[in-house]
Amino acid sequence: MAEFEVSQEIATLGLSLFVLGWAVGPLIWAPMSELYGRQYVYFVTLGALAFFNAGTAGAQNVETVLVLRFLGGCFGASPFTNAAGVIADMFAACERGLAMSLFSAAPFMGPGSSVFVGVVASSSANNTTAVLGPIVGGFIGESVGWRWIEGVMAILSGVVWVLGTFAAPETYAPVLLKRRAAKLSQMTGMVYLSKAEKDRGPMTLGRVLQTNLLRPWVLLFREPIVFLLSLYMAVIYGTLYMLFGAYPIVYREQRGWSAGVAGLPFIGVAIGMLASVVYNVFIENPRYLRNVDKGGGVTIPEDRLPPCLVGAVALPIGLFWFAWTNSPSLP
């Protein structure tokens, strides 16, 4: 805020626009992955994310920062929509719950999620949506300034981009079959079509976009389970981000902690995430697999809901606990 002389509201807009990009990006990357494959989408989006993070680090005005934050959110959202598809490509249905629980913990635990809330604060610790991000980012911002937070993000994004480019194979079966059919056609001079092309006809970008832009709304308003789960996730994520936004206010502004130390309370989030992963690995997933065995290899979708019941109880307890103990008069 001091460098660009803007209000707290404008500074916090960096996070708001980044999260808004998470809402816009999946509308683009989901259909693109069905048309061109997961690998191609990751190559483009992760490379662009590294570029936008680097651009934010060198921005000379707040307008540039905000635009690049939004674009970074759009391109950085590709794993949120495509990772579930990759897991579905790679794992059987009975194994996906465990894989998804491990993946879901990554955005909150990994340093790659060191999102800049107060992107214009010269010593900001307002790095949220992750655990290691606020802790590491707080000390970096405190010692060398906020630009190096985005610089580290650019480096990490670039490393992930390189690793993904050379180590992550294509997993989407229709695209793999389409490529194989095209290769056979080139080798033999005959025309080969994949089963998907034969059954559905050639897939064009317009057709894929139309299907993927309309289908979510149809499912949202015509399938009660989709609507209720979407509402549940909206409340959970909204509450979580409001909580993350409250941490700097409580620990920096009210308690007067330094930027680095104010990030340490996020360790509590790490403990909670690790506890949820342990619960899923050792309790929930074995229970689900037992039900699958009893059902002869299948079970009802509602068998995935018990962890939500646990979260529905744990979340308000945690919120009340935080609210009742955040007064500066309490140790």
Provide the pLDDT for residue 227. Answer: 93
Instruction: Indicate whether 8 pLDDT > 80.
Output: no
Q: At which residue do the structure tokens 């494959």 appear?
A: 37
Distances (CA, A) of 210 to 32, 77, 81, 84, 117: 12, 20, 17, 21, 34
pLDDT (0 to 100) of residue 104 = 77
Judged by DSSP in three states, 328 sits in coil
Give the model confidence (pLDDT) of 286-325 as tens digits.
999 999 899 888 888 888 888 888 888 888 898 899 989 8
pLDDT (tens digit, 9 = 90+) per residue, 10-48? 877 887 898 889 889 988 898 888 888 899 999 999 999
Query: Mutual orientation of helices 8-36 and 78-90 as an angle, nearest 10°?
Result: 40
Q: Are 57 and 110 a contacting pair, CB within 8 Å?
A: no
How large a percentage of the chain has pLDDT more than 70?
90
Domains and CATH numbers, the chain: 8-171+223-325 (1.20.1250)
Q: Are 319 and 136 in contact (CB under 8 A)?
A: no
Tens-place pLDDT, residues 171-190 = 988 888 888 888 888 888 88
Average pLDDT estimate for 115-133 = 40
Cα–Cα distance measured from residue 147 to residue 213, given in angstroms and rounded to the nearest whole number: 36
Mean per-residue pLDDT over the chain, rounded = 82
pLDDT at 109: 66
Q: Name every residue whose Cβ is closer than 8 Å to that of residue 202 and which is 6 or more positions away in sequence.
A: none
Of the two residues 200 and 58, the one the predictor is more confident about is 58
Task: Give the pLDDT score at 111.
Answer: 40
pLDDT band at 144 (very low <50, low <70, confident <90, very high): confident
pLDDT of residue 2: 67
SS3 102: helix
Q: State the DSSP code for 170.
A: -
